[in-house]
Amino acid sequence: MRKLASLWLLLVLTGCAGATDLGPAPKAKSQAAAKLKSPTPAQKLVPLKIWLVQGKGLVQRNRAHPKTVRVATAALQELLAGPTEAERHGSGLTTSIPRGTSLLGVDIDNGVATVDLSSQFQAGGGSGSLQLRLAQVVYTLTQFPTVKKVRFELDGSPVNVLSNRGVAVDRPVARRDYGKTDCAGFPSSQQGFIAINYPRPGVRISGKGHIELLVTVRGCSSTFEGTLNWHLKTRDGVTVSAGVAQGGSLRPGPFRFTIPPPSVGEGPAVLEVYEPPASGEGGPTSRATVPLVLMEGRSSP
């Protein structure tokens, strides 16, 4: 409004003096100047890996982060962000790292990454939860060839950490200090147990003729001679699939097997993994179960 008022005043004052020369008409902008600026090129991303918790073990998940030379920092930031909503609800993934934990710094020197986290990192949970969160950080950082071991600090002060042997150590730790991913949360001295990390309850098992939804069962165990039996039964107790697997013996070890598409059965079912009884003994000494859902098979055309 001020500019318009000034222009009007100028015209009134000069009107009596005759025609006013406003100068040549403004030239049209060149086509080059009139063109819109080119869109910003798509931001380049760098692929990273983080390790989340499934059951009582770790699983690897991929992330894409804006390209940076500080890949270790980027990976830890992605780890602290935790699982996505889809991962939480679709795959039952969680994290043992307490909410609110902040990354204060990470430095890599001679194969050792020193990671400084806020004190929230040590809040809550028992020794198993603490071992899992330590393993999450160690596995995530040692994906890089420049990192072989990890030293922990909290609020700038060096701290001792638990290994999977349940003892505190004052040295940098490596993946071997937490065992295989499916056994990362179990002390190395624990015996006589079976734990199923995946599938989570309610996962569907496809019947023959469906687009095959093969389910790979993963877990950790420590049983006599390491031998495991497993069977998948309907709610009526009919066995639709069975097999043998190998886990840990004197110390926890991972087990893994795939359930083939059953030819019969539909609806609720139970997967049981158990230690076969020794000769002359009664039932299994260790077992673990998880409820699943069978999809009805389809006959071939």
pLDDT digits (tens, 9 = 90+) for 257-290: 998 877 666 789 999 999 988 755 655 678 999 9
pLDDT of amino acid 283:
59
CATH 2.60.40.2550 domain locations along the chain: 193-294
pLDDT digits 0-9 by tens, 160-181: 998 877 778 889 999 999 888 9
240 Cβ partners below 8 Å, 6+ apart? 232, 233, 234, 262, 263, 264, 265, 269, 294
What 3 state SS string does 154-210 have? ECCEECCEECCCCCEECCCECHHHHCCHHHCCCCCCCCCEEEEEECCCCCEECCCCC
pLDDT digits 0-9 by tens, 218-263: 999 999 889 999 999 998 899 988 999 999 998 899 999 998 877 6
SS3 state at 28: coil
More confident residue, 231 or 300: 231
288 Cβ partners below 8 Å, 6+ apart? 194, 195, 196, 219, 272, 273, 274
pLDDT of amino acid 194:
95
Nearest to 285 by CA among 296, 297, 277: 277
Nearest to 144 by CA among 123, 115, 168: 115
Does residue 33 carry a pLDDT above 70? no
Separation in Å, CA 209 to CA 235, 237, 263, 300: 22, 23, 9, 7
pLDDT digits 0-9 by tens, 128-154: 889 999 999 999 999 999 999 999 999
Phi, psi of 165 (to 5 degrees): -85, 0
| CATH class of domain segment(s) 193-294 | mainly beta
Enter the pTM of the model.
0.74
**Angle CA(215)–CA(48)–CA(77) in degrees, nearest 5?**
110
pLDDT of amino acid 166:
72
Does residue 301 carry a pLDDT above 50? no
Strand 215-222 to 193-198 pairing: antiparallel
